[in-house]
């Protein structure tokens, strides 16, 4: 799952799934990609993704293997296929560490054992040590202005 990327694809007039729902056309099996959202004429379609009937020009937000782009870039199934940079899916393997760190931070600060600043630094350090986040990415995410 970590290898998968977010991809944008525009459905062409010759896509074999036109007129079918995403679920009924077995999009996932056919393309080995998961449709996360669909927009039509610039507006997001707010119904269950699997129940959407595909039309030419629909823009699909997909989660797929990175080779999807090279495999379908010149396919008649899609007008346009492009990878969305820096779009690795979220992983939840260490969510329990983050939850435990947050709980410990709140308890330590609320009971007065540590100040809020000390508890926050401790929690952040724990997240860093357990590699819950990437240090470089975290620094790039901060607005230093």
Percent of the chain residues past pLDDT 90, beyond the cut: 68
How would residue 87 be classed by pLDDT, with cut points 50, 70 and 90? low
Q: Is the pLDDT of residue 33 over 90?
A: yes
State the angle between helix axes of 95-110 and 116-129 in degrees (0 to 180), rounded to the nearest 10: 160
Asked if residue 26 lies in contact with residue 72, where contact means CB atoms within 8 angstroms, the answer is: no
pTM: 0.63
> Do 4 and 63 touch, CB atoms closer than 8 A?
yes
Segment 6-23 mean pLDDT? 94
């Amino acid at each position: 799952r970590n290898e998968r990327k977010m991809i944008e694809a525009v459905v062409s007039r010759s896509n074999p799934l036109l007129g079918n729902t995403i679920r009924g056309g077995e999009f996932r099996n056919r393309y080995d990609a998961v449709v996360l959202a669909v927009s039509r004429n610039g507006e997001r379609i707010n119904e269950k993704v699997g129940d959407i009937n595909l039309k030419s020009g629909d823009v699909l937000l997909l989660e797929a293997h990175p080779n999807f782009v090279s495999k379908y870039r010149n396919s008649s199934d899609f007008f346009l296929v492009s990878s969305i940079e820096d779009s690795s899916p979220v992983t939840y393997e260490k969510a329990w560490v983050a939850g435990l760190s947050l709980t410990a931070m709140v308890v330590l600060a609320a009971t007065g054992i540590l100040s809020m600043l000390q508890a926050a630094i401790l929690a952040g350090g724990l997240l860093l040590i357990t590699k819950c986040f990437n240090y470089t990415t975290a620094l790039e995410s901060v607005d230093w202005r």
